[in-house]
Amino acid sequence: MAIAADRLALPEKPRIFTVANQKGGVGKTTTTVNLAAALARGGARVLVIDLDPQGNASTALGIEHRAETPSVYDVLVNDAPVADIIQKSPEFEGLYCVPATIHLAGAEIELVSLVAREQRLRTPLEAFLSESEEPFHYVFIDCPPSLGLLTINAFVAAREVLIPIQCEYYALEGLSQLLNNIQLIEKHLNPRLSVSTILMTMYDSRTNLANQVVQDVREHFPEQVLDTVIPRSVRISEAPSYGQSVVSYDSGSPGSLSYLEAAAEISRRGAPE
Ligand code: ATP
Ligand code: MG
């Protein structure tokens, strides 16, 4: 295993990931927050965009997101510049967040009638990244568990898709629907989109089933699945209640080490061609 505190090689251009799976509770937010924290700890400048009205990523990064807080809703619906919304996470130097508030719950419907409704995130994000004085290295967009307009906006804004898959019996169910949707986006809205990364989450080494699921997914997606698997860990699940990533909450725990290793792997593999 790579040593946790290593500095990581930084990409030349910002790598923009959408973290998506329309299944609920598979570890999208946990993965977003902890990979972002791990990369920031490795020396990268990282932006997390919370695109889920639940605001869980904002919470876990210790970011203010009461209803009146300027949020990603203002970017999507009111044309607010990302620079006016962004907050610095207390977690690590170089870690930033565009929070989500409860207002985002209405955006799915409000977006329908807006001009260029699928480009509402891409345009302001590109502007922000190109104007930012200090360059960003990674952007992670945390999606809600659905394939609606919020998730579509994330797919259009990103270059890479990261799919967390829970090591459970129904893991592959619904995946073909997700992949079909991504193909449609590729064809019509974002030809550069690619599913670059799959991360197996909540792995329980005591069950044969978990091993079987990991094997199955690796057979289907040999290129995409990271070698690192995230174990089921109580430390991972309790960190958000302290407004922390597990990487800062208990950095030496197996859960933290696994996210640090996954981050190192993502950095080593580099961006897709
Ligand atoms: P949603 O679809 O609701 O947005 P999600 O896909 O973002 O969910 P998370 O919120 O990241 O999923 O995780 C679901 C629950 O499982 C949370 O309570 C989280 O703390 C817990 N969890 C995630 N990963 C692990 C893990 N490796 N070990 C133990 N618990 C975990
Ligand atoms: Mg979530």
Per residue of the chain (273 residues), give pLDDT as tens. 444 457 999 999 999 999 999 999 999 999 999 999 999 999 999 999 999 999 999 999 999 999 999 999 999 999 999 999 999 999 999 999 999 999 999 999 999 999 999 999 999 999 999 999 999 999 999 999 999 999 999 999 999 999 999 999 888 888 999 999 999 999 999 999 999 999 999 999 899 999 999 999 999 999 999 999 999 999 999 999 999 999 999 999 999 999 999 999 999 999 998
| Secondary structure in 3-state letters for the chain | CCCCCCCCCCCCCCEEEEECCCCCCCCHHHHHHHHHHHHHHCCCCEEEEECCCCCHHHHHCCCCCCCCCCCHHHHHHHCCCHHHHCEECCCCCCEEEECCCCCHHHHHHHHHHCCCCCCCCHHHHHHHHHHCCCCCCEEEEECCCCCCHHHHHHHHHCCEEEEEEECCCCCCCCHHHHHHHHHHHHHHCCCCCEEEEEEEEEECCCCHHHHHHHHHHHHHCCCCEEEEEEECCHHHHHHHHHCCCHHHHCCCCHHHHHHHHHHHHHHHHCCCC
Question: Which pLDDT belongs to residue 169?
Answer: 85
Q: What tokens appear for 247 in the block?
A: 């990487």
What the chain holds in terms of domains, given with CATH numbers, is: 2-267 (3.40.50.300)
CA of 130 to the centre of ligand 2 (A): 28
For the Cβ of 26 lying below 6 angstroms from any atom of ligand 1, the answer is: yes
For the Cβ of 237 lying below 6 angstroms from any atom of ligand 1, the answer is: yes
CA of 56 to the centre of ligand 2 (A): 6
| Shortest-distance Cα residue to atom 22 of ligand 1 | 237
Q: What tokens appear for 134 in the block?
A: 């200090």
Ligand 1 closest atom vs CA 23: 2
161 strand-pairing partners:
18, 195
For the Cβ of 230 lying below 6 angstroms from any atom of ligand 1, the answer is: yes
Ligand nearest to the CA of 24: 1
Calculate helix-pair angle for 28-41, 254-269, nearest 10 degrees.
70
CA of 144 to the centre of ligand 2 (A): 6
Question: Which pLDDT belongs to residue 2?
Answer: 46
Q: Are 97 and 50 in contact (CB under 8 A)?
A: yes
Ligand nearest to the CA of 27: 1
For 223, list phi and psi in degrees, rounded to 5: -80, -35
For the Cβ of 29 lying below 6 angstroms from any atom of ligand 1, the answer is: yes
Q: Which of 31, 48, 237 to mutate to test the pocket of ligand 1 (most atoms within 8 A of CB)?
A: 237
Length of the chain: 273
pLDDT in tens, 59-112: 999 999 999 999 999 999 999 999 999 999 999 999 999 999 999 999 999 999
Residue with tokens 């329908």: 112
